[in-house]
């Protein structure tokens, strides 16, 4: 069964030069799967993720036929009702823990707050739950980390804390926007494996937004490829390397490869027709 | 003669109990016209080596020799900057937001004591594939790739022999990365440049460099050919791990 259905989503920003359409009529559905969204910067992938949670700030406008979460249209909800959806049902992990954790509050207090926001429990119980969650994301010394401030932990640890915080209310859908781009390759794997394990264990739906094609093809089940606000291609992640659209091919071919030596990398030649073709259903 | 020679380089920040040894006993040499890579995780000291060379990290010991001349302290003379130039990671941060491309390049040419600035600005823009219509634009009117091209043009203004490249493409999309790497390959061939390039991306380093050094916790643990890396045969266990993390699922 589909957890989330998005139909004809537009994100618009009025500017002095007229209205700029960041996302142009995107439709897709998400089941209990790992769905990747890839594209270059400016392709509208992050805006799609934010629009689902209605996190587009004024003067930005979100329009869609519907964004259905288990049959309920998120666009019809009041701001107050939305607050119950965010975190509890759909939560989001951002790119850089340095900018997403509160620098003046301890890690523990932030995780406990995330839990108590949606669950009426005592502080002691929330504390216990937070410790368990930190252990679940492979943090070795959770008692110490609970007392630490965000600047006292490394980037990889910060990102795992973010994941712990986002998963503690037990959401049905996790939107991860470039969750590992700020991390070293070796730590990247570790964080992804943890996230993967938790998503599988809880039967969640995951939307994984990234610019890294290799990472997405290894880590996801299905991939949407976005170009100038539209979906140009949908394919199974393990078949990403057989993708057909010239844009996807161009992106794949422009990567330097360890197993092939060449003096020049192939360069993407953009075809203006790509941005005019209708969005593909995902 | 080596273009660059570094032996037993130590770089540290702070002193007393707060002292951090960012680079410990690093040694390597880069031949004239060679392209040499430095790889490692963040905090491994790879960028710090470049910063010590250019005088941006003043507390260092050991020997740094550039084309036969030994460097001392943090002061660098004009001759040094005509030989060595650096391209930084973030083109959004390394260009003055209120200076046009023309101002950026003219000022640099003036500092290098070059006459004939007008034609030189045009050749520089031509060299990095931008063309004259970009000459009077501000950085915010350029894309990330175009900004990095301006930063490269600025580095080439004094006709240096050696370019220090600090993660020149890690802030860019893969399609734009390919364009910039191709540009750097062509410029090296045309101008006979020597590159010292820092990156965390092993595929980029293997593509751009002849040899590379792997760094960890401030020490160079292994120096190898790019061919050894491609063949998947680094000697050190850590290099193996690093290679595994960037290729295998």
Each residue of B41-88: pLDDT tens digit?
888 899 999 999 999 999 999 999 999 999 998 899 999 999 999 999
Q: What angle do CA A170, A123, A79 make, to 5 degrees?
A: 50
Is the residue at B24 inside a domain? no
pLDDT for res A221? 93
Choose among A41, A185, A256: nearest Cβ to B200. A185
Choose among B182, B204, B243: nearest Cβ to A267. B182
In angstroms, the CA A162 to CA A137 distance is 10
Specify whether the CB–CB gap between A220 and A234 falls below 8 A: no
CATH assignment at residue B232? 3.40.50.300
pLDDT tens-digit map of A174-217 = 999 988 877 777 778 888 888 888 888 888 999 999 988 888 98
The conformation of residue A38, written as its DSSP 8-state character, comes to: E
Q: Which residues of A touch B (CB under 8 A)?
A: 40-41, 155, 184-189, 211, 213, 218, 250-251, 254-259, 261-268
pLDDT at A65 over 90: yes
pLDDT at B249 over 80: no
pLDDT for res A195? 85
Residues of chain B with Cβ-Cβ distance to A186 below 8 Å are 41, 241-242, 245
- Contact yes or no for B247 and A258 at CB 8 A: yes
In angstroms, the CA B239 to CA B225 distance is 13
Which chain B residue has the Cα nearest residue A253? Answer: B175
Tokens read off for B175: 């399609």
- Contact yes or no for A185 and B242 at CB 8 A: yes
pLDDT at A107 over 90: yes
pLDDT at A138 over 70: yes
In angstroms, the CA A218 to CA A194 distance is 15
Residues of chain A with Cβ-Cβ distance to B241 below 8 Å are 186
> Hunting for tokens 């990290």 — which residue is that?
B57
Q: Coil, helix or strand for A22?
A: strand
Choose among A155, A218, A258: nearest Cβ to B202. A258
In angstroms, the CA B246 to CA A212 distance is 12
pLDDT at B110 over 90: yes
Q: Which range marks the domain in which residue B102 is found?
A: 35-60+76-247
* Count: domains in chain B: 1
Percent of chain A with pLDDT over 70: 100
Tell how strand B162-166 and strand B35-39 pair up.
unpaired
Percent of chain B with pLDDT over 70: 99
> Hunting for tokens 């600047």 — which residue is that?
A151
pLDDT for res A273? 86
pLDDT at B118 over 50: yes
Is the residue at B28 inside a domain? no
Is the residue at B30 inside a domain? no
What is the nearest CA distance from B231 to chain A, expressed in angstroms?
8
Q: Among A185, A259, A274, pick the best mutation site for testing chain B contact (most B Cβ within 10 A).
A: A185
Tokens read off for B90: 């973030």
Specify whether the CB–CB gap between A150 and A103 falls below 8 A: yes
The conformation of residue A258, written as its DSSP 8-state character, comes to: T
Residue B97 has φ and ψ, to the nearest 5°, of -65, -20
- Contact yes or no for B42 and A155 at CB 8 A: yes
Is the residue at B171 inside a domain? yes
Q: What angle do CA A100, A106, A108 make, to 5 degrees?
A: 95
Choose among B173, B207, B230: nearest Cβ to A41. B173
Is the residue at B188 inside a domain? yes
In angstroms, the CA B228 to CA B221 distance is 15
- Contact yes or no for A250 and B175 at CB 8 A: yes
Is the residue at B84 inside a domain? yes
Specify whether the CB–CB gap between B159 and B82 falls below 8 A: yes
pLDDT at B132 over 50: yes
Reported as a pLDDT band with limits 50, 70 and 90, residue A1 is: low
Choose among A188, A254, A259: nearest Cβ to B230. A259
The C-alpha torsion from A123 through A129 and A134 to A140, rounded to 10°, is 90
In angstroms, the CA B236 to CA B84 distance is 31
Size of interface A-B (CB pairs under 8 A): 73
In angstroms, the CA B103 to CA B111 distance is 12
In angstroms, the CA B112 to CA A30 distance is 58
What is the nearest CA distance from A266 to chain B, expressed in angstroms?
7
- Contact yes or no for A185 and B144 at CB 8 A: no
Is the residue at B195 inside a domain? yes
Choose among B181, B182, B245: nearest Cβ to A186. B245
Average pLDDT along chain A:
90
pLDDT for res B61? 95
Q: Where is average pLDDT lowest: A97-101, B56-60, B76-80, B94-98?
A: A97-101
Reported as a pLDDT band with limits 50, 70 and 90, residue B207 is: very high
Nearest-Å Rg of the Cα atoms of chain A is 20
What is the nearest CA distance from B202 to chain A, expressed in angstroms?
8
Nearest residue to A280 (alpha-carbon basis) of A248, A238, A242, A250: A248
pLDDT for res A22? 93
- Contact yes or no for A265 and B181 at CB 8 A: yes
In angstroms, the CA B16 to CA B20 distance is 9
Is the residue at B18 inside a domain? no
Nearest residue to B35 (alpha-carbon basis) of B201, B225, B219: B225
pLDDT tens-digit map of A34-46 = 999 999 888 999 9
pLDDT for res A250? 92
pTM attached to this predicted model: 0.85
């Amino acid at each position: 069964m589909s957890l989330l259905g998005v139909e004809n989503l537009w994100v618009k920003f009025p500017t002095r030069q007229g209205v700029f359409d960041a996302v142009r009529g995107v439709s897709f559905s998400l089941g209990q799967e790992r769905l990747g969204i890839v594209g270059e910067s400016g392709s509208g992938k992050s805006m799609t993720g934010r629009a689902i949670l209605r996190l587009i700030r004024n003067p930005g406008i979100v329009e869609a036929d519907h964004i259905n979460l288990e049959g309920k249209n998120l666009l019809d909800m009041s701001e107050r009702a939305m607050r119950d959806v965010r975190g509890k049902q759909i939560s989001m992990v951002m790119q850089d823990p340095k900018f997403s954790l509160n620098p003046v509050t301890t890690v523990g207090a932030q995780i406990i707050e995330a839990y108590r926001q949606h669950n009426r429990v005592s502080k002691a119980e929330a504390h216990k739950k937070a410790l368990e969650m930190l252990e679940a994301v492979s943090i070795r010394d959770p008692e110490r980390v609970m007392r630490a401030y965000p600047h006292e932990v490394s980037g990889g640890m910060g990102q795992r804390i973010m994941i712990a915080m986002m998963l503690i209310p037990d959401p049905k859908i996790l939107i991860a926007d470039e969750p590992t781009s700020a991390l070293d390759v070796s730590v990247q794997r570790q964080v992804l494996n943890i996230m993967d394990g938790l998503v599988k264990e809880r039967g969640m739906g995951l939307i994984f937004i990234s610019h890294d094609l290799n990472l997405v093809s290894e880590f996801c089940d299905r991939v949407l490829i976005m170009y100038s606000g539209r979906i140009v291609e949908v394919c199974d992640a393990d078949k990403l390397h057989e993708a057909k659209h010239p844009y996807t091919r161009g992106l794949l071919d422009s990567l330097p490869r360890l197993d092939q030596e060449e003096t020049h990398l192939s360069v993407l030649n953009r075809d203006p027709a790509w941005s005019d073709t209708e969005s593909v259903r995902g | 003669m080596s273009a660059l020679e570094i032996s037993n380089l130590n770089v540290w920040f702070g002193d007393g109990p707060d002292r951090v040894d960012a680079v410990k006993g690093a040694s390597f040499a880069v031949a004239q016209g060679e392209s040499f890579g430095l790889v490692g995780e963040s905090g491994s000291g790879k960028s710090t080596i470049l910063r010590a060379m250019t005088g941006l990290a003043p507390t260092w010991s050991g020997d740094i020799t550039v084309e036969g001349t030994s460097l001392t302290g943090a002061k660098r003379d004009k001759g040094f900057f005509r030989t060595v130039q650096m391209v930084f990671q973030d083109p959004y941060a390394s260009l003055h937001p209120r200076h046009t491309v023309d101002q950026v390049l003219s000022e640099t040419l003036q500092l290098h004591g070059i006459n004939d600035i007008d034609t030189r600005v045009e050749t520089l823009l031509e060299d990095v594939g931008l063309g004259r219509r970009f000459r009077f634009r501000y950085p915010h009117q350029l894309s990330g790739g175009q900004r990095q091209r301006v930063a490269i043009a600025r580095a080439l203004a004094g006709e240096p022999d050696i370019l220090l490249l600090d993660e020149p493409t890690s802030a860019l999309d893969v399609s734009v990365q390919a364009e910039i790497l191709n540009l750097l390959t062509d410029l090296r061939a045309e101008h006979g440049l020597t590159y010292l390039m820092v990156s965390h991306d092993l595929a980029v380093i293997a593509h751009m460099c002849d040899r590379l050094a792997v760094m960890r916790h401030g020490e160079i643990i292994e120096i190898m050919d790019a061919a050894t890396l491609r063949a998947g045969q680094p000697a050190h266990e850590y290099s193996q791990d690093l290679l595994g993390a960037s290729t295998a699922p």
